[in-house]
Homo-oligomer: A and B are copies of this chain.
Amino acid sequence: MQTIKFSNASTDFYFDSSLKQLGKIVDKQNAIVITDQNIFNAHESRFKSFNTIVIPAGEEQKKQSTVDDIILKLIQNKADRKSVLVGVGGGVITDLTGYTASVYMRGIPFGFVPTTILGLVDASIGGKNGIDVGVYKNMVGIIRQPSFLLHDLTLLQSLPEKEWQNGFAEIIKHACIKDAAMFKQLEQYSLKDFKADKTLLAELIKRNALIKTKVVQKDEFEKGDRRLLNFGHTIGHAIETQYNLMHGEAVAIGMVFASEISHQLKGFKEQDRVKSLIEKYQLPTTIQFDAKKVFEVLAMDKKRVQKEMNFVLLDKVGKAVVHPIALKQLEKIINKL
């Protein structure tokens, strides 16, 4: 176990651990597990001794009415301020769990057991807990750190191939913005290699979890370095819901576009290298989109400050910068993409 301190809280990381340890981390009497129907069906026996709330699976559940449902179930379960919510699932479940725990009775403790690559390396880390409002991603939420994070890589057994690719989009993002050596490693190996070699995979996941953790630790409330994690996410979020893409697919396309904009505005030269790596991990690199509609959603992005967008660009592989772009200029660039 490794304890990482944030500004107001600390998170205990249990890397390469097992769901069996959960009973030792939390008191089963007080714990309420939140998971989705797919995870529950795939690993039913592992939930037996826990009080569990099961919600339908799917990205579209990440909304207020699901939070409302969970709150009613917490009241029925007589959850109080000593209760601990444990989100076992992908990003949707960990976001819903963290957000609900942050507002139920004005805040009760929570922890996460991520069951997807995306969850393990990204969504579960950093304390951003949010829900979508219509097409607007994470429009509502709270920054609050989980008490603990437990990794059990055997839960990945039930993960569909698409979800593996989805998670690797964020791993490629980390390589682009912070870790040129890992970028090279990803070029050398393939998704198949990582799936076949448990040690290689465990190391990659830990490396990525720590990249994200370090960035968040330095800048929990996103005034500086944390904004770099949005690489690929500005256009990514704007196309994700409109074209019904998986988050990783949208981010992959977003990274290709952001690399192209980096080339145009910053003289970045490795845009083909980024594109090839994304292709290697079987992620999409482009999409036909309605520029007007995409720009409309994008203009409501949280990274907008009045008439400028704080866009994340690459100087080189492994080094990202925040670059403000006037909305009018951005509109022109997007029309030409």
List residues of chain A with CB under 8 Å of any chain B CB: 8, 64, 68, 71-72, 75, 78, 80-82, 102-107, 128, 130, 133-134, 136, 138-143, 299-300, 302, 304-306
Residues on the B chain within 8 Å of A136, using CB:
75
Among B78, B142, B304, point to the contact of A102 (Cβ < 8 A).
B142
Given contacts A8-B8, A75-B133, A80-B305, contact A106 B142 (CB under 8 A): yes
Q: What distance in Å separates the Cβ of A129 from its nearest Cβ neighbour in chain B? A: 9
Contacts of A299 in B (CB 8 A): 78
- Asked if A139 contacts B104 (CB within 8 A), the reply is yes
Q: Verify B142–A302 contact, CB threshold 8 A.
A: no
Copies in the complex: 2
Are B78 and A300 interface neighbours, CB within 8 A?
yes
Asked if A80 contacts B304 (CB within 8 A), the reply is yes
How many Å lie between the Cα of A263 and that of B81 in the bound state? 29
Q: Which partner residue on chain B sits nearest A299 by CB separation?
A: B78
Give the docked Cα–Cα distance between A110 and B179 (Å): 39
> Could you jot down 6 A-B contacts, CB within 8 Å?
A75-B136, A80-B305, A82-B306, A103-B140, A103-B141, A106-B142
- Complex Cα gap A136–B74 (Å): 12
With A71-B139, A106-B302 known, 12 other A-B pairs at CB within 8 A are: A75-B139, A80-B305, A82-B305, A102-B142, A103-B103, A104-B139, A104-B140, A105-B139, A105-B302, A106-B143, A107-B143, A142-B142
| Chain B min CB distance to A148 (Å) | 20
A331 to chain B, nearest CB (A): 15
Q: Which residues of B contact A130 (CB under 8 A)?
A: 106
CB of A71 within 8 A of CB of B133, answer yes
Q: How far is the CA of A140 from the CA of B71 in the complex (A)?
A: 8
A133 and B104 CA atoms in complex are apart in Å by 10
A212 to chain B, nearest CB (A): 17
A302 to B75, CA, bound (A): 11
Please state if B81 and A305 are interface contacts (CB–CB under 8 Å). yes
The 8 closest A-B pairs by CB, nearest first: A106-B141, A105-B302, A103-B140, A106-B143, A80-B304, A106-B142, A64-B68, A71-B133
